[in-house]
Chain A
Amino acid sequence: MEDFFNKIKESFTNTTLEFETINIKVDSIDWIDTHKKLKDGFNLKFFSWLSAVDWDNDVSVGEAPKESVSPNFEIITCLSDLANTNLITVSTKIDKSDPKIESLVEIYGGANWHEREAYEMFGINFENHPNLEKLYLPDGYEGNPMLKSFELISREVKPWPGEVDVEGMPEESGSDKSPDG
């Protein structure tokens, strides 16, 4: 794994190795080239997944980032080599006002459905995708559910009682025990 990381470092500038996973950050212009290089030059032929993250300070679900972030979409792919433990995630950031990126379907056929999912959930346009339609959501569904600004209606109607678990646990139940009761 160390040797492999050194090889990766020679070819890519922004790389880190944590938890046995190599992370490469690239510009969105190099998205296609990076994946071609990784597939052919580094034998990372196994396409594990592709997904996106909505980075935003203004959230209506969950917690907002503790430190303020510049709003953007981060797109992440995960590739691996079946013969060994090499595992890589590649990430890039794209602008939220015009969310588009080249499709990877030509390189990894498996990207097809993952990109369709990211398209419907985040509203990211994958250019040159052969069939960019909704995957899970019904036709006519409006909005992109995975956006941080997309509200969970059930939470609006009835607030989740989860807060209770976090605040008022009785002391007697054993302070050094796990929170399972």
Chain B
Amino acid sequence: MVNTLDPQNMNNFSEASVSIEIETEDMTLNIGPQHPSTHGVLRLVAKVDGEKVHDVKPVLGYMHRGYEKLAEVRSYPQITTLVNRIDWVAGFSNEIPFIAGAERLMEIEVPERAKHIRLILNEMARISSHFVFNGAYALEVGALTPIFYAMEDRERVLDLIESVTGGRFHPNFNRIGGVKPAAGAGPTSKKNIQDLPAGFYRDTKVAMEKVIKAADQFQNLIGGNEVFKKRTKNVGILTPEIAEAYGVSGPILRASGVKSDLRTHTDYLPYDQFDFEIPVGENGDCYDRWDVRVKEMVESAKIVLQAIDSMPSGPLQAKVPKVIKVPKGRTYVRAENPKGEMGYYIISDGGLGPYRLKVRTASFSNISILPIMLEGALLPDLIAIMGSLDFVLGDVDR
């Protein structure tokens, strides 16, 4: 009795039917741009030989908004509004490296309290992004239930982000030199600025404990599911060598066994003050990419819990000039975003806006390996592999 669920055997079947029984022709299959599994408007043009996929061509640009060009005609404070919309699942994280770059060129020392608030919200953005991944990925490989749990739990985190920033997806909360007074903080007079809304610490504690519980639940509900394991284990294996050469970063890289996290390598936020693990995968398959993200959620929740316990007091804003002019110079600031390395290369000529702003996004490099990973894969695995890369088209096309 052959186990038909074994991908190895399925490979043999398709080969047998191709070479012996009938002469087949390659069929060109157009997936997207409006396919639900493409997280936006990615289009794949795949050649399909029976059930086997080869020669996949991603077609980009359906979401291209030209942020790099738009940034050239805007001032620095205006650009934060733009960059919010790059990876809209974790809007807050997009602001951080840009603001950090401008601050670095202006030599502004950000108050500790502002840094901590940034860090907390950044980790919450990571958690909410991974919640979306958990729900959506399970859905893509055929499990309907987890997305309802994931969306409910994510809403709790988004509520917290909203209570501080006033926005669920596009906070636009960072200012050069610090953060703005929180939305839910009530009237702000000069002498008595309340920065975080009442009950924020308490609500955060509750929410983060729920996140840890939810991650545990996902480990059982999704990770313990035999069908999920069959669909994802040993599927879409990515070697660290290819990942490095293609600039693949974030959880995908770590799932391939590379222990690399910019939170420990750079000082854009004070991550060195907190204890957290960097989850690493072994095989670099779809299952590991899922597993690493679930474990990361727990670590992020732990960071947030530590951060609210050690929250320093003090001002939210450093002294900055009223009209922000960034001195002549150039810098590249990179940050560990939920999807990987995001960075901004700012070339300033001393004007109100940058002369050139290069936006390095994680998903762009992450999906550039799709043609390699999908070469020779089975058609049902295409969705499993694509989903495990967890990309957002705003992050790809910019």
Contacts and interface: CB of A to CB of B under 8 A. Distances in A.
Do A and B make up one complex?
Answer: yes
Interface of A: 18-21, 45-49, 51, 53-54, 61-63, 65-66, 76, 78, 82-85, 87, 89, 108-110, 112-113, 121, 134-138, 145-146, 148, 150, 152, 155, 160, 162, 165-166, 169, 174-180
B357 to A, nearest CB: 10
Given A110-B247, A178-B180, 18 more contacts: A18-B331, A51-B358, A63-B353, A82-B260, A85-B265, A89-B332, A109-B372, A110-B245, A113-B368, A148-B72, A152-B69, A152-B70, A152-B73, A155-B73, A169-B322, A179-B322, A180-B175, A180-B180
Contacts of A78: 332, 343, 345, 360
Contacts of A21: 331-332
Contact of B245 (A47, A49, A146): A47
In this complex, the member of A63, A112, A138, A145 whose beta carbon has the largest number of chain B beta carbons within 10 angstroms is A63
A176 B321 CA distance: 8
B317 interface: yes
Contacts of A180: 175, 180
Contacts of B72: 61-62, 148
Contacts of B245: 45, 47, 108-110
Top 4 A-B pairs ranked by shortest CB distance? A136-B61, A110-B246, A62-B72, A82-B260
Contacts, number: 142
Nearest to A21: B332
B73 A19 contact: no
A141 to B, nearest CB: 10
Contacts of A145: 66, 69
Interface in B16-47: none
Interface of B: 60-61, 64, 66, 68-70, 72-75, 77-78, 104, 175, 177-178, 180, 190, 241-242, 244-249, 253, 258, 260, 265-266, 317, 319-320, 322-324, 328-329, 331-332, 334, 341, 343, 345, 347, 349-353, 355-356, 358, 360, 364-365, 368, 372, 397
Contacts of A61: 69, 72-73
A53 B334 CA distance: 19
Nearest to A155: B73
A178 B60 contact: no
Contacts of B241: 45
Scoring A83, A108, A110, A166 by chain B CB atoms within 10 A of each residue's CB, the highest score goes to A110
B323 A178 contact: no
16 contacts: A45-B241, A48-B343, A49-B247, A61-B69, A62-B72, A63-B352, A82-B258, A109-B242, A109-B372, A113-B368, A145-B69, A152-B69, A174-B190, A178-B177, A179-B322, A179-B324
B368 A112 contact: yes
Given A48-B360, A53-B356, A175 B322 contact: yes
A45 B240 CA distance: 10
Given A51-B358, A166-B323, A179-B322, A66 B349 contact: yes
Given A66-B351, A136-B64, A162 B75 contact: yes
Contacts of A162: 73-75, 78
Contact of A135 (B60, B68, B323, B360): B60
A71 B343 CA distance: 27
A109 to B, nearest CB: 5
Contacts of B73: 61-62, 152, 155, 160, 162
Given A48-B247, A179-B324, A165 B75 contact: yes
Contacts of A136: 60-61, 64, 397
Contacts of A135: 60-61
Contacts of B247: 46-49, 108, 110
B189 to A, nearest CB: 10
Which one of A48, A138, A145 has the highest number of Cβ atoms from chain B below 10 Å of its Cβ? A48
A118 B394 CA distance: 19
Nearest to B240: A82
Q: Count chain A CB atoms within 10 A of each CB in B70, B247, B266, B317 and give the residue with the most.
A: B247
Given A49-B360, A63-B355, A113-B368, A146 B349 contact: no
Contacts of A175: 322
B244 A19 contact: no
A61 B355 CA distance: 10
Contact of B317 (A109, A121, A160, A178): A178
Contacts of B360: 48-49, 78
A178 B202 CA distance: 29
